[in-house]
Chain A
Amino acid sequence: MAAPLSVEVEFGGGAELLFDGVKKHQVTLPGQEEPWDIRNLLVWIKKNLLKERPELFIQGDSVRPGILVLINDADWELLGELDYQLQDQDSVLFISTLHGG
């Protein structure tokens, strides 16, 4: 049983438009059976934060190609991408490099 986590989720490069234009979200992830990883976080974001057009942000169980993910200002490729286990006070940043956001 993982304890609730407090993480900062940030959107940039136009991705924020899908989240009511709000860039920074301080969120508390509820405690759950399995540990929180990015895969779960994306599902949670889709359910709780995403306001419109989920297909422009999420594709399959990952982010859409062209959207970069930074965990604590480091490339998520260094940290295991979807399998990275979130720690308390982590910050996760999604930057869209797609044209027009």
Chain B
Amino acid sequence: MCQVGEDYAEPPPRESLPAPRLGCGQKCVKCKQGEPVVVIRAGDAFCRDCFKAFYIHKFRAMIGKNRLIFPGEKVLLAWSGGPSSSSMVWQVLEGLSQHSAKRLRFVPGVIYVDEGAACGRSLEDRAKTLAEVKQVLHTVGFPWHVVSLEEVFGLPPSVLRCCPQELAGTEGAYKAAVDSFLQHQHTLQVEGAGDSYSLARGDEEQSWPQSQDPHGPPSPAASPSAAQTEALCRLFESVQTLTAKEELLQTLRSHLILHVARAHGYSKVMTGDSCTRLAIKLMTNLALGRGAFLAWDTGFSDERHGDVVVVRPMRDHTLKEVAFYNRLFAVPSVFTPAVDTKAPEKASIHRLMEAFILQLQAQFPSTVSTVYRTSEKLVKAPREDCAGEPEGPRCLLCLCILDIDAADSATAFGAQTSTLSQMPPSALQAEAGTRTAPCCAVGRAPGCCWKACRREHDSQTQVIQQLCYSCRGNMKDLPSLDPLPPYILAEAQLRSQRARVMQEIQDYLIEDSDAETETTQS
């Protein structure tokens, strides 16, 4: 029954199914009165009003049953302009304006990341999109942050560190929300004092609660510097496959959102992943070797960053429902071409998996829900057992707890590093000295020269070493890691320096049964 390619000779025999030939005579399955407009599950036709109630209820229920978002908590809505996240923003807007007990009570903000440079769009196109984006943001009226992806070049390495936070009990989590609220106040004050903090550069608008504040066209200060744009373009052009490009974009985007969330005291980030997208993502991530992190990547909440939790309230809505809702209730969205726009079906794993799932869905209408239910059952338990040491090594890019053999014993590089570390320091020094003569000529401090050179020599491997299995695979599609934003390289260096120092002082430490020493020893 499995056929390769698209040569399905005949369409699936529609006659054999109890075809919902509803036509004009049929009524809505809920109220039995209204004229149906949309078929949700196989055969369930809803009228406009019942569909709206159903859609809104699902959103509230998803937030309500998970009990993760506290009243007054600051929540950052990650809005890409696409249908799902637009619908999410609209649901929040509607939920906040309701005067009922079911009202949503958190304090939202919206972030839009302009990824134009990564997709190779011209400045004029991007400005046009930005104008549209800002128009929608004004209509919404939430405080908003428009940032461009170029700003990853100005991120501090601390973004990549997990800030553990006691989220155990309601008390602790609530306290955290209060703390970040205070932090936000502080940030605002700093901004007011004219701090040149890069992300606050006038592109954050505090338009709450008066959304009709007159805002001029995007100020030139808000646009990224040409050098950064060029650097970002160079980075994305150097990536050899579309798969790695999409993954890199996703990584950088999530770092940037995380940074903005932290800087402005948001303790939750909401993303608009729909059920259809999550089903596709689940399969894609499996194919990419991210099986160990599926629960984080596709679950309702993702606590990998510690202090900022990513939640996915749209995960019960299918893309079809989203598209219909947006159409029927005129939810504004901004279409922006993505990296994979117009790409052929087999251009990337993401693309291929999307086509595969949707194709299957067209013939077997429960495909998406089956895959999605699987993602719901995944438990994040396996790695929680090392809760004793909260600072387990994490992947430099996806920030998940490393799933690899820390000693790296199975790879050629692992073998090499272990021989290096077994060599006596003098031998190392001698070896490095011969190799690094030109570097001394450049005029570095002679004392640490061999160290510096060795660092340069394996800065590439240094980064690779700190990645999870999947991110390693993606980075293989980058001929050089140099174009990566500096914060990634800096953090990689910092981490391996720390590891090296740990190793150097190893002999002087009193041996206790610390697992950490084992991991750094290799």
A14-B341, A74-B38, A93-B327 known; A62 and B11 CB under 8 Å?
A: yes
- Is residue B21 contacting chain A, with contact meaning CB distance below 8 A? yes
- Is residue A4 contacting chain B, with contact meaning CB distance below 8 A? no
Task: Tell me the number of A-to-B contacts counted with CB atoms below 8 Å.
Answer: 97
- Residues 288-343 (chain B) with a chain A CB within 8 angstroms: 319-320, 322-324, 327-328, 335, 337-343
- Is residue B188 contacting chain A, with contact meaning CB distance below 8 A? no
Quote the shortest CB–CB distance from A13 to chain B (angstroms): 7
- Is residue A49 contacting chain B, with contact meaning CB distance below 8 A? no
Per the bound structure, the CA–CA distance linking A61 and B358 in Å amounts to 16
Question: Which of A53, A55, A101 has the most chain B CB within a 10 Å cutoff?
Answer: A101
Contacts of A60 in B (CB 8 A): 6, 8, 11
Contacts of B361 in A (CB 8 A): 65
Quote the shortest CB–CB distance from A9 to chain B (angstroms): 15
Partner among A17, A65, A78, A99 whose Cβ is within 8 Å of the Cβ of B22: A78
Q: Count of chain A residues with Cβ under 8 Å from any Cβ of B? A: 32
Question: Which of A79, A80, A99 has the most chain B CB within a 10 Å cutoff?
Answer: A99
- Is residue A32 contacting chain B, with contact meaning CB distance below 8 A? no
Quote the shortest CB–CB distance from A83 to chain B (angstroms): 9
B323 touches A68 (CB 8 A): yes
Contacts of A14 in B (CB 8 A): 335, 337, 341
A65 touches B358 (CB 8 A): yes
Per the bound structure, the CA–CA distance linking A17 and B336 in Å amounts to 11
Q: Mark B332-370, 1 if CB is under 8 A from A, else 0.
A: 000101111111110000110011001101100000000
Question: Which of A52, A55, A75, A79 has the most chain B CB within a 10 Å cutoff?
Answer: A75
Interface of A with B (CB < 8 Å)?
A: 12-14, 17-18, 52-53, 55-56, 59-62, 64-66, 68, 70, 73-75, 77-80, 93, 95, 97-101
| Contact sample, A vs B, 11 pairs, CB 8 Å cutoff | A55-B344, A56-B345, A60-B6, A65-B355, A65-B361, A65-B362, A70-B324, A74-B38, A97-B83, A99-B338, A100-B338
